[in-house]
Chains A and B, each alone.
Chain A
Amino acid sequence: MTSQPTLELRGVDKSFGPVHVLSSVNFTANAGEVTALVGDNGAGKSTLVKCIGGIHRVDAGEMIFDGTPQVVHDPREAAVLGVEIVYQDLALADNLDIVENMFLGREKVTRLRTLNENQMEKMARQALDSLSVRTVRSVRQLAASLSGGQRQTVAIAKSVLWQSKIVILDEPTAALGVAQTEQVLDLVRRLAEQGVAVILVSHNMNDVMKVADSIGVLFLGRMAAQVQRKDVTQTQVVELITAGRSGDLGLSPAESSGAAV
């Protein structure tokens, strides 16, 4: 991945009134890689994600998509740029089946403006197959009948369907058991192998160390460090999360002592 990153943030600032939530954050996500975004509660992970997704506008700094600086005003513009956010609560309608959920709001219609169920069902099946998903028996079962892992699978497969370039997963394994966590992490890897820039927001160090290529650590609204997975140990990452620095990695002692607040 020597070419330009799919997403690059430079010096992003965001405050809500007097509260500086993000200050000069730099962050990159490359196609084909899983980039983890970690940090303690209140470090600014959600805000950063919402800025990328167009829900918040940044106060200063640049967001560069595929080498082109862009201003994202609302979620629809973010979707046009290929950003898909898979939220923690997944946003599936329980009374609709998998196909209906995956195409919600973007249904395919025939020439007569009726729903093109066959095309949607085929495309949904293909999207799931491309991720080697075999845990979903029928794409016509209701979302209500799916397990947590299956729901997560459907939500992730949706981003394949829409050929998103950047997929942001918000705590995808938080509510899952061991086996299902494994399945979802496999899915995350396969998604990246398809050339998608995956951003994984997680609290779970095991997941992050297992699946990420690169790790960005937020500490009190600052990017303490973005490091390659292979260069660090779990202990170092935990130190970065809790103290903002670890050895010669991370913020300077002055910065890490709560200067951002």
Chain B
Amino acid sequence: MSARTHDMVEQKPEVPTEGLSALGSYTKDYLSRVRGGQLGSIPALAGLIVITAVFAVVHQGFLSAYNIEALVIQAAPIIVMAMGLIFVLLLGEIDLSAGTTGGLCSAIMGVLLVRNGLSWWLALIIGLLAGLVIGLGMGWLRARVGIPSFVITLATFLAFQGVTLILVGGQGSLIIPDTSPLIKLENSFVPLWLGWVLLAVFVLGYAAIKVNDALGRRRDGLSHAPFTVIAAKVVVLAALGAIFTYEMGVNRNLSTNAFFSNKAQGMPWVVVLLVLLFAVWHFVLSRTRYGRHLYAVGGNEEASRRAGIVVNRIRISVFVICSGMAAVSGMVAASLLQSVQSNAGAGNTLLLAVGAAVIGGTSLFGGHGRMIDAVLGGLVVAVITNGMSDLIQGANSAGYEWVVTGLVLLIAAGFDAVVRRGRAS
């Protein structure tokens, strides 16, 4: 038996951790992962660059500071909702009602604020709590009662639309007073100096985490990402951030003159909110036991159960997170529109968010998805809607916009299916 043992022994490849050979082996490793179907953010990133380039060429002013600000504040509610949806999608579930849940929560907030005269923060907190309670209810129905999530959330999608209509009233809308700090989220800007400080904190924080990880792995004698790769990533991130911060520093208020000195410059506050939410959820998904268990349940429920994971608790929790994030998204949308409409969150709101997650690379079949998917996918969706609405004018422009958005989603979903097949074989 020992002779045979030796036959099957293969040499363990020595993994160099320094210098050019390290870079080479890292690249080779990365390429083999890509070939194996782990594409990460490549498709979304490529799509974002291509689409942006096309619009920049055919439509002058697409990359103007004014339009980029519009892009960001339009993308924000989509991105926030997609962040929540990723949790549900990781388990292979769906929440069709995220849009109307967000609408309902913002309506609750609006009614309390406008009609009952509650202070803005109390109204906001109650609205967000309503989201968590809704998620708890739907999660319970899914996990304990066993109704498919598609059916539960289809029902709540319809019902919440009605509740919002009843709350806000027939053809009306709730106008949020100008003085409310909530408005500032989407319509007010970070002071220029603070914008640069936040960028520096963000980039340095990213660099510190990556370098610390690599040093820790080297200390433990494990292979780590070469420092050249980390440096390159940090430089790219810093450059992109600097371009964005600089462009957002341009005054976008055309009526500024000697008499009216109010300028519109700096990045919208919602960018800070997005970065914070991203950081928190990315941390939860990638560095906590809870996050690990999410992926495990999404990948193999039976294996997770045998490993002692309480699957039902995980399943309820994702609905709570999703509805909570939907509520946040509803508040952001209310801030953007400075009002809550009677049809808030209805229509295509949810579909755009699901589209964003899928375009970003999250699988509808569960087990695959990351927070960055929501950000990149949300930007793609926002670029398409924004670019198309300027590009296609005339009577049927809305129609064409829908068709193109649909096609992009189909391509993204098709891509997901093809990659999945590649993985399986």
Taking Cβ atoms with an 8 Å cutoff, the residues of A that contact B are 75-76, 87, 89, 91-96, 100-101, 104-107, 109, 113-115, 118-119, 121-122, 132, 134-135, 137-138, 142, 144-145, 179, 182-183, 186, 189
Contacts and interface: CB of A to CB of B under 8 A. Distances in A.
A52 to B, nearest CB: 15
14 contacts: A96-B292, A96-B295, A104-B292, A104-B307, A105-B307, A105-B309, A106-B307, A113-B289, A115-B287, A118-B216, A121-B222, A132-B9, A134-B12, A144-B424
Contact of B300 (A93, A113, A132, A186): A93
A6 B88 CA distance: 45
Interface in B281-317: 287-289, 292-293, 295-296, 298-300, 302-304, 306-309
Contacts of A91: 300, 302-303, 306-307
Given A122-B220, A132-B5, 18 more contacts: A75-B306, A76-B308, A89-B302, A93-B303, A95-B299, A96-B296, A105-B309, A106-B308, A107-B289, A107-B292, A115-B289, A118-B216, A118-B220, A122-B222, A137-B13, A144-B423, A179-B8, A183-B8
B4 interface: yes
Nearest to A149: B8
B10 interface: yes
Interface in B1-55: 1, 4-5, 8-13, 29, 36, 38
Contacts of A76: 308
B10 A134 contact: yes
Nearest to A112: B287
A101 B293 CA distance: 11
Contacts of B292: 96, 100, 104, 107, 115
Given A93-B303, A104-B296, A106-B307, A135 B8 contact: yes
Nearest to B220: A118
B77 interface: no
Nearest to B5: A186
Contacts of B10: 134-135
B252 interface: no
B288 A93 contact: no
Nearest to A90: B303
B298 A95 contact: yes
Contacts of A134: 8-12
B226 interface: no
Contact of B287 (A95, A114, A132): A114
A189 B1 contact: yes
B112 to A, nearest CB: 36
Given A115-B287, A145-B36, A104 B304 contact: yes
A179 B217 CA distance: 35
Nearest to A128: B12
A70 B424 CA distance: 44
Nearest to B90: A95
Interface of B: 1, 4-5, 8-13, 29, 36, 38, 216-217, 220-222, 287-289, 292-293, 295-296, 298-300, 302-304, 306-309, 367-368, 423-424
Chain B CB within 10 A, most for which of A95, A142, A186: A95
A142 B304 contact: no
Contacts of A114: 287-288
Contact of A105 (B29, B308, B423): B308
A189 B8 CA distance: 15
B36 to A, nearest CB: 6
A91 B4 CA distance: 29
Given A134-B10, A134-B12, A186-B1, A93 B304 contact: yes
A95 B368 contact: yes
B232 to A, nearest CB: 21
A124 to B, nearest CB: 11
Nearest to A121: B222
B299 A96 contact: yes
B304 A115 contact: no
Contacts of B304: 93, 104-105
A92 B220 CA distance: 26
B288 A113 contact: yes
Chain A CB within 10 A, most for which of B12, B302, B303, B306: B303
Nearest to B303: A91
Chain B CB within 10 A, most for which of A104, A107, A115, A179: A104
Nearest to A125: B222
A100 B296 CA distance: 9
A110 to B, nearest CB: 9
A134 B13 CA distance: 10
A118 B4 contact: no
A118 B1 contact: no
B240 to A, nearest CB: 27
A235 B4 CA distance: 26
Contacts of A95: 295, 298-299, 367-368
Chain A CB within 10 A, most for which of B11, B306, B368: B306
Nearest to A100: B292
Contacts of B5: 132, 186
Chain A CB within 10 A, most for which of B304, B307, B423: B307
Given A113-B288, A134-B12, A93 B299 contact: yes
Contacts of B306: 75, 87, 91
Closest 4 CB pairs of A and B: A105-B307, A93-B299, A95-B299, A91-B303
